[in-house]
A and B are shown apart, each in its own frame.
Chain A
């Protein structure tokens, strides 16, 4: 096994898998991946979990239950009053009720969840994403109760949850970060405020005030000039204190026209960490991701290797185990800056799965049981800088794209998923599901994979056309618009692509006119039908030529719906 100091410009025959802790890295040869396997630990028999409780709901709970079933592990779902008949509850081997609909009294009630796990004899808890997934205190409580927390250690979670601490860790791992401050800002005295103003001048304008405990764009403010600084800090502090119970904020330069590139990481209990490729998540709206793809379009193999190396360095610095994602800003100049680590499975993990062929949840389960990184994982890590497939994911949410993506809960009256080659749908809902206002509006993830990006886009366009959702408004119109945007098609991605180009009003109006026309024809057809029946009108009478087939199918669909 080769040993060398990581220098960030790894030569061609090195992979970015590292083992070891305390900043002492040993890189491995591509073909020597197997040598990484720790000889100790468990002997020949592969350890396994017996029963896993999934502390989540919706599509991710179902996704984890499926991986458990594949691994012959019993799954235990938990549910609130709102979710008694949900798909994840029916899919699991066991299901336990944990409280009323509000998340604070159910999916966020760590005591109830741990009690449920002990009551049903589970030996591990998978937190999914969101809810309790990055809570160091929850992970510690699991361990104290004798349960395996499927995720990083409480210590790692605590360190990465504090963004200022994560920035410090990146600096000590020799990973570039966006210029900014390293201490929580004090603004209570005139001297402190003067110091903050001086820091801001040093960083340069425009800049961002960000919450140390932040996420999802909350506790974040843009500042364009010195006079905007104080109100922005005050607002961000207030928002962060309300949302996270911690009002600490810091300053960071705002890089415009940048891209959001993140690296999937897996680490085992033996100290090995690998990068499994990167994802581009630049298509965002107010810091909420809408579309993710792997690999990031337009990067050279060297750039991929570089960002993978940076991610693994940070992971090794914080002793990462299980799954996590390191997020980077890619500037228009081609520089990578570390942003933060999400120490959990990401919503968008599926695109990495489609490109690598791995089941990341299965790997998480094996890692949690004490297994070293699997040969398949090591092989995927070795190939990560030269991917042979391209995958794209779009998030289908219960939101109204016309009115600034306002929540649009309701009952789903029709749900027809697309299928065919290279299409995967991870959904937590079905026909008849009532989407409640209590939880996240994400309904499903539509993923496509193909040998290259152009073919993947064609599949995405087709799959979006096949997806039929009735009863509630979803983000489908946005995605149908996006797949035909010149910049998106060209792979010219920027985090402000949506803000600069999305104008839904004309699209809505045109679609409304088409809807009026279609309904008028169908209503007239009903009126003309014998006895004014609402169904059974003959499509043949209404059209001729090639469109008749379309029209007939449309009418048939109408009849089925009645």
Chain B
């Protein structure tokens, strides 16, 4: 039985290796029988200006004690974005990317400043959390744009750290 159509969705579960699932958006009765051995809860996270502009919604899902950050967007829109990014890369253009804090903590080192050219893999800054220093490296080459954090500053999960142009 078809209960409604929401359009194709792309669901991304953040993690060391993100899990990406495409869903056809068709509600089928009985398709999601609940396994009583699984503990599951889902909490919508507040929209941000950026997520609203991108047409994405974020959720925290907890499954058997595992906490996940999950984002959802229209699959059509995601594919369009990918085509644009690919086309821009082929044309030699670089779209800027923002690196966000993967762990809350305190910024203890800054190896770069605005305007620095960096190579892929180069160290940008370090965040200290529970006595462990976590280095943040450049995912690709570029020029350091916005750098909204300073040494000693406390950052929360998801805070902007560096923008690469």
- A residues near B, CB below 8 A? 402-403, 406-411, 413-414, 437-438, 441, 464-480, 507-509, 511-528, 534, 541-545, 547, 550-551, 554, 557-558, 561-562
Contacts and interface: CB of A to CB of B under 8 A. Distances in A.
Contacts of B61: 515, 518-519
Contact of B29 (A410, A464, A515, A544): A544
B82 interface: no
Looking at B7, B39, B105, B157, the one whose CB has the most chain A CB atoms below 10 A away is B39
Given A512-B63, A518-B63, 13 more contacts: A407-B103, A407-B130, A408-B103, A470-B62, A477-B64, A477-B65, A515-B68, A516-B11, A517-B21, A518-B61, A521-B32, A523-B57, A528-B6
**Chain B: interface secondary structure?**
strand
A543 B19 contact: no
B9 interface: yes
B43 A410 contact: no
A517 B27 CA distance: 12
A409 B70 contact: no
Contact of A437 (B4, B12, B16, B129): B129
Interface in B1-45: 3-7, 9, 11-13, 15-16, 19, 21, 23, 25, 27, 29-30, 32-34, 36-44
B66 A437 contact: no
Contact of A414 (B30, B34, B43, B63): B43
A480 B32 contact: no
A407 B129 contact: yes
A413 B62 CA distance: 12
B65 A550 contact: no
Given A402-B16, A543-B30, A407 B40 contact: no
A476 B130 CA distance: 19
A506 to B, nearest CB: 12
B154 to A, nearest CB: 9
B136 to A, nearest CB: 15
B7 A514 contact: no
A312 to B, nearest CB: 38
Contacts of B30: 543-545, 547
A547 B33 contact: yes
B67 interface: yes
Interface string B118-140: 00000000001111100000000
A560 to B, nearest CB: 9
Q: 10 closest Cβ contacts across the A-B interface?
A: A476-B65, A407-B130, A524-B6, A515-B61, A477-B65, A511-B63, A561-B43, A516-B21, A550-B34, A437-B130
Contact of B36 (A513, A527, A550): A550
Nearest to B13: A512
Contacts of B25: 520, 524, 527
Contacts of A558: 41-44
B23 A409 contact: no
Contacts, number: 190
Contacts of B40: 514-515, 518, 554
Given A411-B156, A437-B106, A543-B32, A470 B27 contact: no
Given A524-B23, A541-B3, A480 B64 contact: yes
B105 to A, nearest CB: 5
A519 B65 contact: no
Contacts of B129: 407, 409, 437
B160 interface: no
Nearest to A478: B65
B29 A543 contact: yes
Given A528-B6, A543-B30, A522 B59 contact: yes
A518 B34 CA distance: 10
A432 to B, nearest CB: 14
B165 interface: no
Contacts of B104: 409-411, 437
Given A407-B130, A480-B65, A541-B3, A516 B13 contact: yes
B110 to A, nearest CB: 18
B149 interface: no
Contacts of A521: 27, 32
A299 to B, nearest CB: 31
Contacts of B4: 524, 528, 541
A474 B66 CA distance: 8
Given A437-B131, A512-B15, A522-B59, A542 B27 contact: yes
A316 B94 CA distance: 74
A416 to B, nearest CB: 9
23 contacts: A407-B131, A409-B129, A410-B104, A437-B104, A441-B130, A470-B41, A470-B43, A471-B60, A476-B64, A480-B64, A511-B64, A515-B13, A515-B40, A516-B11, A516-B70, A523-B6, A523-B9, A523-B11, A524-B6, A528-B5, A541-B3, A547-B32, A558-B43
B36 A519 contact: no
Given A523-B57, A547-B33, A512 B66 contact: yes
A329 to B, nearest CB: 29
A515 B130 CA distance: 28
